[in-house]
């Protein structure tokens, strides 16, 4: 579970690629690759110097490498820049100045070269054609010497091609280059090519059927060279979708009267119980990295904020080698006063996530399309009013399907997925709430049910058969809280200030925690949470 229940390591679930350990053989291979890059860079530099020095060119001012002195914030020129993604047919005959990366270069003889320029996932085809007093053959030769992924400035006139450009996102336009400058050169041989990293499994399999073999970039390699991997259209989409999820989370809760807070990530003891904490020395005192903001967001409720939320890092030290666990993730946490019933918390979950899904489908169409092109997926099915089932009802559905589950135990990964499948078939939704969980599987601060102490006023929320949210009504009575903490093996002394906060008058309250990366992963039906973490931290990876 993300911010509520400690994650349960699943040793039987295979680890996805994500290790940053490099063998001697791999290290030797990387060293050979580095030497080849240096040699190629030297050769390219020689070629460029030959063009610029040995062949005198009266048009040399229209192209070349930008000198360091000009890159040191030398002057403010007032030039207007155009984003690649905004270049459209209505800009025909307009002069534009764009900065982007060299995606591909295709020379056609000595007088023409096509340069595809990419900026933030958008691409446009630029054409360099020898013309008197404008473009020289040396300029074309210079362009063909540029390495892929180099940063360039291009100035030219927007034109409309006879046929749409299939190799660019801006298919209805071209830019006729008049000036071309290299701002920063990438090494000639990259560890991974962006075209390879952007390729889908479908494309690779189709090529194999035709007897062709395309490069498959595995996840370890992607994460070792994450900067390059980020540049693919799918990754550009994934992290913009992630940003939108965070934005909607904030905006919705602010509109509902919640206050944003920031809680400490260095705490004196475990916030969730168990041993899965990162322990450290804090000026001679034992301390931990916070497993969640749980204790402090509850204390904020005791401080009369009424409704609070937080977006921040969460740390879990479990050795969970699965597709959905990380040692550090971004938590979206909520806590609020309860007037009568913990269903009030579930009401917020319902409206928040329906609003979030609606917003993603409406405002992130291009990003979702980019993700789907590399990682095909079906849009998430969800209801306008989110389905709620009790834990007992979920157990009964599994039982009727031939799956035996302990009615007072937790659901394992297989049971969750099976229940998700059954719910989708019966109710037509892949997003639902399961509530009234057994007390034994919830954290010590979870309020027991009024009519059966074996169960609790708690809930989990699922997307595509996997848990993304855990929440509950909290225990706000200090005597019961001390009793529950002791039963869960927590040293009450380490959380004494937390328990004391309820001695000064505390309203009934509840909340929930969401893992941001997991929401993105499941909304886009991705197979690994490392795809939705910018720089993932798992039991074997702490770089880059």
The rounded distance, in Å, linking the Cα atoms of 223 and 543 is 9
**Residues involved in catalysis:** 316, 318, 324-325, 467, 470, 518
Q: How far apart are CA 242 and CA 326, in angstroms?
A: 16
Which tokens hold the place of 117? 């320029």
Asked if 161 contacts 174 with a C-beta cutoff of 8 angstroms, the reply is yes
Torsion of CA 229, 233, 238, 242, to 10 degrees: 110
- Who's near 423: CB < 8 A, 6+ residues apart? 387, 389, 397, 429, 430, 432, 462
* H/E stretch holding 302: helix 294-302
How many Å separate Cα 247 from the centre of its chain? Answer: 14
Helices (H), 343-387: 343-363, 365-374
Residues linked to residue 36 through DSSP beta bridges, in sequence order: none
- Give the residue among 441, 416, 275, 255 at the shortest CA–CA distance from 348: 255
Question: CB-based contacts of 249: which residues, under 8 Å, 6+ apart?
Answer: 309, 311, 332, 352, 356, 514
Q: Is 71 exposed, middle or buried (0-12, 13-18, 19+ CB in 10 A)?
A: exposed
Which string of b and e fits 175-207 if b means at least 16 CB within 10 Å? Answer: bbbbbbbbeebbbbbbbbebebbbbeeeeeeee
Tell me the C-alpha to C-alpha distance, in Å, between residue 541 and each of 157, 265, 321. 47, 21, 11
CA-wise closest residue to 529 among 332, 387, 325: 325
> What's the distance, CA 111 to chain centroid?
43
List b or e across 265-282, with b for residues whose CB sees 16 or more CB atoms inside 10 angstroms.
Answer: eebbbbbbbbebbeeeee
Residues 6+ apart with CB under 8 A from 130: 110, 111, 112, 136, 137, 139, 140
Of the candidates 159, 234, 144, 252, the residue with the CA atom closest to the CA atom of residue 196: 234
């Amino acid at each position: 579970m993300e911010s509520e229940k400690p994650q349960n390591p699943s040793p039987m679930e295979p680890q996805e690629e994500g290790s940053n350990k490099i063998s001697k053989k791999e290290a030797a291979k990387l060293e050979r690759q580095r030497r080849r890059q240096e040699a190629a860079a030297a050769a390219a530099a020689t070629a460029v110097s030959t063009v610029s020095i040995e062949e005198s060119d009266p048009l040399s001012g229209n192209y070349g490498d930008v000198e360091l002195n000009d890159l040191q914030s030398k002057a403010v020129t007032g030039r207007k820049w155009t984003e690649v993604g905004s270049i459209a047919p209505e800009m025909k005959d307009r002069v534009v100045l764009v900065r982007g990366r060299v995606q591909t270069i295709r020379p056609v003889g000595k007088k023409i070269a096509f340069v595809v320029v990419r900026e933030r996932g958008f691409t446009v085809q630029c054409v360099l054609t020898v013309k008197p007093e404008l473009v020289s053959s040396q300029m074309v030769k210079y362009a063909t010497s540029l390495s892929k992924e180099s940063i360039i400035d291009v100035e030219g006139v927007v034109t409309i091609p006879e046929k749409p450009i299939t190799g660019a996102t801006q298919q209805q336009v071209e830019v006729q280059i008049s000036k071309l400058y290299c701002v920063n050169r990438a090494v000639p041989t990259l560890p991974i090519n962006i075209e390879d990293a952007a390729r889908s499994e479908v494309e690779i399999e189709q090529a194999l059927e035709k007897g062709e073999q395309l490069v498959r970039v595995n996840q370890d390699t992607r994460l070792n060279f994450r900067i390059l991997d980020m540049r693919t259209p799918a990754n550009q989409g994934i992290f913009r979708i992630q940003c939108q999820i965070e934005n909607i989370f904030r905006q919705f809760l602010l509109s509902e009267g919640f206050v944003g807070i920031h809680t400490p990530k260095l705490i004196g003891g475990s916030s969730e119980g168990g041993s899965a904490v990162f322990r450290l020395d804090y000026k001679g005192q034992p301390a931990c990295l916070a497993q969640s903001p749980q204790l402090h967001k509850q204390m904020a409720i005791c401080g009369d904020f009424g409704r609070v939320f937080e977006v921040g890092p969460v740390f879990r030290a479990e050795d969970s080698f699965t597709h959905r666990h990380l040692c550090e993730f971004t938590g979206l946490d909520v806590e609020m006063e309860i007037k009568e019933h913990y269903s009030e918390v579930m009401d917020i979950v319902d409206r928040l996530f329906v609003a979030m899904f609606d917003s993603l489908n409406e405002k992130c169409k291009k990003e979702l399309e980019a993700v789907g092109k590399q990682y095909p997926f079906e849009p998430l099915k969800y209801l306008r009013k989110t389905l709620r089932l009790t834990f007992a009802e979920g157990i009964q559905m599994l039982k009727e399907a031939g799956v035996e589950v302990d009615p007072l135990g937790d659901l394992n990964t297989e049971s969750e997925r099976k229940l998700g499948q059954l719910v989708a078939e019966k109710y037509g939704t892949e997003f639902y709430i399961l509530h009234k969980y057994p007390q034994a599987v919830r954290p010590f601060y979870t309020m027991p049910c009024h009519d059966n102490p074996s169960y609790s006023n708690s809930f989990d929320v699922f997307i595509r058969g996997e848990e993304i949210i855990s929440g509950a009504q909290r225990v706000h009575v200090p005597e019961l809280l001390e009793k529950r903490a002791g039963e869960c093996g927590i040293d009450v002394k380490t959380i004494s200030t937390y328990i004391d906060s309820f001695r000064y008058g505390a309203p009934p309250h509840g909340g929930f925690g969401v893992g941001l990366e997991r929401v993105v992963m499941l909304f886009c039906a991705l197979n690994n949470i490392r795809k939705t973490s910018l720089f993932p931290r798992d039991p074997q990876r702490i770089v880059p």
